[in-house]
Amino acid sequence: MRSLSSALTRTASYQMTICAIKHADYLLRRIRDERDPLHAQATSLRVAMRDIGLRMIRQLDWRDFETQIDLIFARGG
C-alpha cells in the first residue's frame, strides 16, 4: 500500500459496492507491473546527462580539472 499513489488508495475506504477509478491507466500499469512512462523517460535522461557530464570532464585540461575539484571541495564544506 505504501508504494501506491494516493490517486488510487483514496478509494480504499469506499463503502459502496461500485466506485470509479479516475486513474485507471495507473491502476492497470501497477497490475501489469509496467513502468511509468515518465519515470522511464526521466531515468534515460539522467543516464544521458551523466554520460554528457563525463565527456565534458574528459575534455578538461588537467589544470582545469584540478581547479574544478578545488571548487567542489571548497563549496561542499
Between CA 77 and CA 75 the distance in angstroms is 6
DSSP state of 35: P
The count of residues in the chain is: 77
Cell numbers at 46, concatenated = 539522467
Asked whether 5 and 26 are in contact (CB, 8 A), the reply is yes
Asked whether 11 and 19 are in contact (CB, 8 A), the reply is yes
Q: What is the pLDDT of residues 40-50, one digit of tens each?
A: 999 999 999 99
Mean pLDDT by 10 residues, the chain (77 residues): 64 61 78 86 96 95 93 88
What is the value of pTM for the model shown? 0.52
Cell numbers at 55, concatenated = 565527456
